[in-house]
Chains A and B, each alone.
Chain A
Amino acid sequence: MSILMASVGFGLITSAVLTIAAVGFTLQFAVTDVLNLAFAAVMTAGAFVAYWVNQLGASIWLGLVVAMIACSVLSVALNLGVYAPFQRRGSSPITIVIVSLGMALIIEFGIEAIVGGINVSYKMSQGGTLRSGGLILTTVQLTIIAISLVVMAGAHSLLRYTKLGKAMRATAANRSLARNCGIRTGRVITFTWALTGALCGLAGTVFAIDVGSFGPTSTDLFVVLILAAVFLGGPGHAYGAMLGAVLIGLATEVSAAYIAPDYKYVIAFVALLATLAVRPSGLLGART
């Protein structure tokens, strides 16, 4: 029983990190029409930006803010310099996916060329450990869960109650119609890249805080988890991404407790395939 509760607790932490990334990824996909496989590579870039700030003697929480800004700028630049020109030329979605895969490799190997094939850690304390009912969590892990909750609440408020959020939803639903209705879709898209880039930097840094030791290739598998969470919840649905992230996070850790741990991702993906077999558009996607 205690290993079950412990694994549930660990699953919540994994879910928290995954949620931040999945919300950013799915918003980006929904509004910009780019399935950006370079998302995790930008996360890694953010993690290293925070690391460099941390190495200068600053708190990792300051590093986190700098990483958010850096990734926001990088994402906007990525769109303006790479994806937008391809979209303007009418490239097919699969072409854009391949381009994003190429960008992922360029960014990842670029980081590796700068830092080498080494793993690094932040200078920070994990804080005290709290144990309750089999759950074992550190103060920092609880902080990550709190950040994730804030991101979820923020995404909900943005999409539901702000004019910008409504413009984003309209652009995601039908870009031409939104433009005809007077929405400046170009600006909305640029804002979306900036916002999701910031979420990407946030996700990268909390990911690195969570794993303790990270390197240029550490997010290679994480991008698959992000995709799994997004498609499990329903691509383009922020709430679906949150739900998908929680389910994938819990499935991986709980299955590690009872099945061979190196199969934990396999179990998660079997669950994903089974769900998609029943609901091809994801848990919160429109019924087809």
Chain B
Amino acid sequence: MSRATEPVAGAAGHTQSAGNHKTTYRRKRRMLAAIAAVALAGGLAACGSSTASGSSGPLVFADVAPFSGPDAALGPTYLVSCEGAANAINKAGGVLGHTISCTSADTRGDPADAVPAVGSLYSRTKNLVLVIGCTSDEAAAVVPVINSHKTVMFCMTGQSEFDHVHFGYFYRLVPPDLAESYAMTVIAKNLGYKRIALAFGNDIGSQTFVQPAQAAIAKAGMTVVANETLDLNSTTFRTEAEKIVQAHPDAIMTEALGSADPTLFAEIKQLNGGKMIPIIGTSAAISPSFFQASARAVGGADFASNFHADNLVTATSGPAYQAFTKALLAVKGKVNGAQTGDFSTYFTAPGAVHLYDGMNLAALAMIAAKSTQTAKWQPYLQTIGDGVPGAVAVNSFAQGVSELKAGKKIRYIGPGGPTSFDSFHDSPGIFQIDTYNATGTVQVSGSITAAQLRSVS
């Protein structure tokens, strides 16, 4: 065998083989292109309608909120609510043959982290039908993104821009932050305080309180004697605390979550000769982790006797409350990041209560619409929430399903009370005054009327 013929034969053989490979390759390429086209078409269809119709598997509720960073307590609170609601819905038979499951996206409380987190959520989640959470930390960044995916969202943001900017899929069961500023001012006025110090975190969610609070305090005839902005990444606030102590306030209005407020309280107590200055917090301070951190910093009894917070009125008894607490207790100890403190604090945490209502509303709307397609069930949110003439009041998902199956119209009234959506899908509630006892159990110590809010707004 000559060396000359070998390569030639080899080359011919190779050419034939290459030809076969090319044919196979072309066939494969066409097949792949066809698969890609089908997948793309499917993907576009999914993007266009944000639907789970026709797909098998569980429907997913996503908790888009901070699970790390200064506001890390918020995400787990909402997740407790999600897991509790999902568990109760599944026990009652699920939604049109689907079970409900919960997932989460950690926004770290930062718009820059929130947008990619939401992008990742959409790329990895099948059958995503509802988003909950979206706090003031990240709402401005993520709401337009979620809205563009045509996914209904129940958000916990108080930012006032959502009062007048319309996002078709945005719903809110909490009032704008400025209303909370007014509520805090009413608490201060009711308690007879005259000199107020402000200490708010430098995050978007907290800073939104400052200007309305200053205006309301002035209108109420009180004086702002100190206004400190707390860098939430800072580890001590000694100088800020000393400035507050030297201003001799009667009370401090504050929202600086994470370790900031507890650190500030401890330093104020130390610099004030071991004596706390009364604190008026926002509804975000009603959470087990906030109480636990604050109580550890200054002592449970001392903190409890010097703390008030505004909070939305929620049921503390009755069938809606019973169903809600039962749903949450069923997942006690099973939700990551929510194993701290007094679990019953979740029963009055605004996020837990109102998002639970939002999830039940969404699930009932799907059943009423007999569809999991957003375009079909979304209109039912308003009719089931606000009610229509002749509607039967229901206080839980199971009760709602039962009435719907009986052919009745329903109005869902959950532990957060009845809704009344405006054209921007806002349904602001009314306020109460909350305190803690020394072990962290939340107590309602009073209420705030609409007239009182108007008097300082």
Interface set of A (CB-CB < 8 Å, partner B): 2-3, 6-7, 10, 13-14, 109, 112, 116-121, 126, 129, 136, 138, 207, 210-222, 253-254, 256-257, 260-262, 264-265
Contact = CB atoms under 8 A, between A and B. Distances in A.
Contacts of B339: 116
Given A116-B337, A121-B297, A213-B259, A3 B243 contact: yes
B452 interface: no
Nearest 6 CB-CB pairs, A to B?
A117-B72, A121-B296, A10-B238, A256-B239, A213-B262, A221-B233
B233 to A, nearest CB: 4
A261 B239 CA distance: 8
B234 A13 contact: no
B154 to A, nearest CB: 22
Contacts of B69: 117, 217
Contact of A215 (B236, B258, B274): B258
Contacts of B235: 207, 210-211, 214, 218-219, 221-222
A261 B230 contact: yes
A214 B259 contact: yes
B387 to A, nearest CB: 38
Nearest to B246: A3
Contacts of B223: none
Most buried by A among B237, B246, B270, B273: B270
Given A116-B337, A119-B262, A212-B263, A136 B271 contact: yes
A120 B296 contact: yes
Given A213-B296, A220-B233, A118 B73 contact: yes
Given A116-B339, A119-B262, 17 more contacts: A2-B246, A10-B238, A112-B68, A117-B73, A117-B337, A120-B293, A121-B297, A136-B271, A138-B270, A212-B297, A214-B235, A217-B69, A217-B70, A217-B72, A221-B234, A261-B243, A265-B234
Contacts of A207: 235
Interface string B226-263: 00111101111111101100100000000000110011
Contacts of B239: 3, 6-7, 10, 253-254, 256-257, 261, 264
B63 interface: no
A212 B231 contact: no
B238 A253 contact: yes
30 contacts: A2-B246, A10-B236, A13-B238, A116-B339, A117-B66, A117-B69, A117-B75, A117-B289, A118-B73, A118-B340, A119-B293, A121-B296, A121-B297, A129-B274, A138-B270, A212-B267, A213-B259, A213-B262, A213-B297, A214-B235, A214-B259, A215-B72, A215-B258, A219-B235, A220-B233, A221-B233, A256-B240, A257-B239, A262-B230, A265-B231
Interface of B: 66-70, 72-73, 75-76, 202, 228-231, 233-240, 242-243, 246, 258-259, 262-263, 266-267, 270-271, 273-274, 289, 292-293, 296-297, 336-337, 339-340
B133 to A, nearest CB: 14
A68 B97 CA distance: 57
A1 to B, nearest CB: 11
A129 B266 CA distance: 13
B296 A264 contact: no
A262 B259 contact: no
A261 B231 contact: yes
Contact of B340 (A116, A217, A220, A221): A116
A210 B259 contact: no
Nearest to B201: A262
Contacts of B231: 261-262, 264-265
A7 B237 CA distance: 10
Contacts of B236: 10, 13-14, 210-211
Contacts of A222: 235
Nearest to B70: A217
B68 A117 contact: yes
B25 to A, nearest CB: 39
A213 B242 contact: no
Contacts of A112: 68
A264 B297 contact: no
Contact of B259 (A136, A215, A254): A215
Nearest to B202: A262
Contacts of B273: 129
Contacts of B263: 211-213
Given A260-B229, A261-B229, A118 B293 contact: yes
B234 A10 contact: no
A79 B297 CA distance: 36
A265 B231 CA distance: 9
B242 A261 contact: no
A10 B289 contact: no
A221 B202 CA distance: 15
Contacts of B73: 117-118
A43 to B, nearest CB: 11
A264 B236 CA distance: 11
B334 to A, nearest CB: 14
A218 B259 contact: yes
B67 A117 contact: yes
Given A116-B336, A136-B271, A121 B67 contact: no
Nearest to B274: A129
A279 B76 CA distance: 48
A140 to B, nearest CB: 10
Contacts of A219: 235
B238 A126 contact: no
Contacts of B75: 117
Contacts of A136: 242, 271
Contacts of A121: 262, 293, 296-297
A217 B106 CA distance: 14
Contacts of B237: 261
A190 B256 CA distance: 42
B123 to A, nearest CB: 21
A126 B238 CA distance: 14
B337 A213 contact: no
A192 B58 CA distance: 54
A266 B235 CA distance: 15
A217 B68 contact: yes
B70 to A, nearest CB: 8
A117 B266 CA distance: 20
Contacts of A120: 293, 296
A66 B11 CA distance: 73
Contacts of B289: 117-119
A257 B262 CA distance: 20
A10 B246 CA distance: 15
Contact of B234 (A3, A118, A129, A264): A264
B342 to A, nearest CB: 13
